[in-house]
Structure 1
């Protein structure tokens, strides 16, 4: 029987949510768990649109900006686990939508719904996203922790306007169980406490010609030097150990390396107003939502603008999240494999001792470009979902004083974000080209899974 949810019911649910938010336990295996072949037709589907999911991503973008330690790779990790949690909270509500259990690296157990019971998948998604957000941002401020609780309550109140009491409680519990299972999977990936140890004191960078050294003006230690050892979501291929080569380091003015460095120097010194704008638009440095945050924000924006269903939104948000996480791991693996010096170091030593880039140089090696890798992975995944000729307008930097920026297709976004780092003076062109290549390869692997 359906009925309008009473305030006592909501109060009971909110009390349950508050109690459960304080607990983190192993997820029990349901006694009547379904097999993969027992399809979603066994359940009553209550779908809904992407708005509930988007609300959580919007809050996470605020948390990335305001929570200590959320550098680009750490942010990408949180975004990825959020996407998988969303996917697995709603997967049983859509016929033919396969679970990622068994497809992702090390994800071997997840709870399944009770046979023959009805679920509200938007409610399940809401509670799952609330739980995983708490897990991914354990060091968020008290005020932001309260925002997590309040968003969960606000969304539940909207979703429970007309509902079956048992169905809502069952859906809340299922969402929590899914988040618990994803969190338990996450703790063994090597990145769980990355936000606590951004600049590990035990890392000693190699020394030699052409190798990275801390850069002006802050001269910070190396950031996340061990991140490339983390477990990726997509099982790695043997080819990942065949490293992409950059031009050989040389101070000879006729060498490829010198010419690449001089290109950066000359480009920054002769920037057009549009190139200057591009460099600043894509900077996404400290205190912002980071490059991965920018890309998932675009994804969430498109999901809302294109009126995607909850299930379609879950698919694309999950794919982009996985791509961002694995892009961060593989890019950082290359960075600390090569330990290549930044343009500012080379240019000041070999070309102009007073030169500085347009934007601040991040505290880690140059090769390959994180921006290019992140954007290529996300952009190619978005193109597969929306079309290679899909035009769109990125509105995500308007709060920072930028005008909306339009693109005729995702490839033009990839190219612009990649070259922005050359315009900014912090990457060589070959850094960006290699990043685009590895990002595209990551996207291909992400898209090869069944969603």
Structure 2
């Protein structure tokens, strides 16, 4: 009896073993048949983190861009805002895989469905990747700049790479990192070409635009008869929410002396006639017109001032630049959307027609509709981002115009934004309403950028 029992038990074990073997083989076969093309590579901690790289890699490119903006034809404020946003996005995407708590913005930004990915089982130098991405995109974005500037772009690329490579003794890592950066730069360039503002620098004043005519509508105040970038408000924004985040409608137009519109114009007139020395200094400091770094460049430079002051690393710069850049871009798109929705005449035109035909503002009136203020919109966006990151009582000194105007110090980012906004009233080129509502909308635009999930 015991013999039969043992034999039966043995057969049960053999059957179970064969079954287990079959299951294991099937499991291997099924696993090998899975499509691994969509799977993320398994990270291997072989690359130095982005936080180990110097912020100079990025800030030096920004310093150069602010110079290029001043010396490249067609770089009007909206164009400058757009370019700074895309180069900042390229920087972020080229180093984000070296930031363990952060993630790509693919799938979150409007129209950005894919980007090249690194092979995380291999080593990368994120400093080289950042340099390659920025240089690739800057070359494309400033294609119309002069030859001296083009040489400066190439020189900066070579200089940064040579400094980083001193610490690298691996040609494969160098080549791999540079290739990934170039791929990101090229991909962001292709993405930028679909937003409606591609090569806006080449057509600031489109001849096919028919300027609306009507009571209270914008009229040229100088020799430029076609307004600046009338289609810019149709551009795609980075945040889908910002496609419909607009300033409230302006006050109804009227020349009647008891109307709110007349009061707004009368304020510009009276302030302009009695400007104090300080008010003139504020207006001139924030003018940023002509061959300047533009209002967007000024806001971006403030971010740069703070980042250098804080002595941060490349990871922090990449995230701050991306947030500030996209917020300012979207703020200018929304601002331009409102300008060509309402086509409101400038204070100079209103005052000469309804108050004093000989009045002139302190600043030259720019050639596009009044409502809302672009400088106010941009400063509202930048100040909201910077306040969220660095705090409400962050004191700093704005030395953007050192050598031309005295530096100005502020107790907070909101204080600087308020001054930038009111400067347009002092300059005689905006009504108070255009400044204040532009400022408010810029902050709302920034809040939508902050809703993006930069961290995992």
Aligned equivalent of 2:261: 257
Q: Shift of residue 36 of structure 1? A: 5.9
Residue 233 (1) aligns with residue 238 (2) = yes
Q: What does residue range 229-378 of structure 1 map to in structure 2 within 5 Å?
A: 229-236=234-241, 239-240=244-245, 244-378=248-382
Compared CA separation, residues 195 and 239, structure 1 to 2 (3 A): closer
- 1:11 corresponds in structure 2 to none
Is 1:133 the counterpart of 2:147 in the alignment?
A: no
Segment drifting more, 87-96 vs 44-53: 44-53
Distance in 1 between residues matched to 2:89 and 2:414, nearest whole Å: 25
Q: For 1:200, what is the secondary structure of its paired residue?
A: coil
Corresponding residue of 2:411: 408
Q: Gapped runs of 5+ residues in structure 2? A: 1-34
8 Å Cα contact 1:389-1:409 kept in structure 2: yes
Report the alpha carbon displacement of residue 254 of structure 1 after superposing the two structures with TM: 1.0
Secondary structure at the residue paired with 1:406?
Answer: strand
Separation of aligned partners in 1, 2:91 and 2:309: 19
Of the structure 1 ranges 295-304 and 418-427, higher mean CA displacement relative to structure 2 is found in: 295-304
Match of 1:447 among 438, 447, 450: 450
Contact 1:41 1:95 in 2 (8 A): no
Moved more, 158-167 or 130-139: 158-167
Distance verdict in 2 for CA 1:34–1:402, change over 3 Å: farther
Q: Compute the displacement of 1:221 (Å).
A: 1.7
Mapped partners of 2:383, 2:242: distance in 1: 22
- Residues 385 and 35 from structure 1, CA distance in 2 versus in 1: closer, same or farther, beyond 3 angstroms? farther
What is the CA deviation profile of residues 252-274 of structure 1, one whole-angstrom value per residue up to 9, with x for unaligned ones? Answer: 11111101000000101111100
For residue 236 of structure 1, report the CA deviation from its aligned partner. 3.0
Instruction: Give the Cα separation in 2 of the matches to 1:95 and 1:35.
Output: 18
Once the 2 structures are TM-superposed, how far is the Cα of residue 220 of structure 1 from its aligned partner? 3.6
Q: From 392, 395, 399, give the equivalent of 1:388.
A: 392
Match of 2:71 among 47, 66, 69: 66
Shift of 1:183: 0.7
Q: Distance in 1 between matches of 2:287 and 2:37?
A: 47
Indicate conservation of the 8 Å contact 2:47/2:125, yes or no.
no
Aligned to 2:9: none
Q: Does 1:93 align with 2:98?
A: yes
Partner Cα distance (2:244, 2:270) in 1: 36
**CA 1:231–1:42: 2 relative to 1, 3 Å:** farther
Could you tell me how far apart the structure 2 residues matched to 1:185 and 1:33 are? 23
Provide the rounded CA distance (Å) in 1 between the counterparts of 2:44 and 2:115: 16
Q: TM-score of the superposition, structure 2-length normalised?
A: 0.89
Seen in structure 2, the aligned counterparts of structure 1 residues 126 and 362 have a Cα distance that, compared at 3 Å, is same
Shift in alpha-carbon separation, 1:437–1:37, aligned structure 2, 3 A: farther
Match of 2:14 in 1: none
Query: Hey, what does 2:427 align to over in structure 1?
Result: 424
- Between the two proteins, the alignment pairs up a number of residues equal to 418
Q: Does 1:113 align with 2:118?
A: yes
Per the TM alignment, residue 437 of structure 1 is displaced from its structure 2 partner at its CA by 1.3
Instruction: Name the residue aligned to 1:433.
Output: 436
C-alpha separation between the residues in 2 aligned to 1:372 and 1:147? Answer: 32
Q: Flag the 1:170–1:260 CA change in 2: closer, same or farther, 3 A.
A: same
Residue 304 of structure 1: how far off its partner (Å): 1.4
Q: Output one character per residue of 1:381-406: Cα deviation in whole Å (capped at 9) or x when no partner.
A: 0101111111111111104x112211
Q: Which runs of 4+ in 1 moved over 2 A?
A: 31-47, 236-240
Query: Could you state the TM-score of these two structures normalised by the residue count of structure 1?
Result: 0.90
Q: Per the alignment, do residues 37 and 315 of structure 1 end up closer, same or farther by CA in structure 2, a change over 3 Å counting?
A: farther
Aligned residue runs from structure 1 range 123-202, under 5 A? 123-163=128-168, 164-202=170-208
Note the 1:32-71 alignment, pairs <5 A. Answer: 35=39, 41=45, 43-45=47-49, 47-71=52-76
Q: CA deviation at 1:34?
A: 7.5
Cα distance in structure 2, aligned partners of 1:310 and 1:250: 52
Partners of 2:308 and 2:38 lie apart in 1 by 32
Alpha-carbon separation, structure 2, partners of 1:237 and 1:172: 34
Q: Against the structure 1 CA distance between its residues 435 and 243, is the aligned structure 2 distance closer, same or farther, given a 3 Å change threshold?
A: closer
Task: State the distance in 2 between where 1:440 and 1:432 align.
Answer: 13
SS of the residue corresponding to residue 257 of structure 1 reads helix
SS in 2 for 1:398: coil
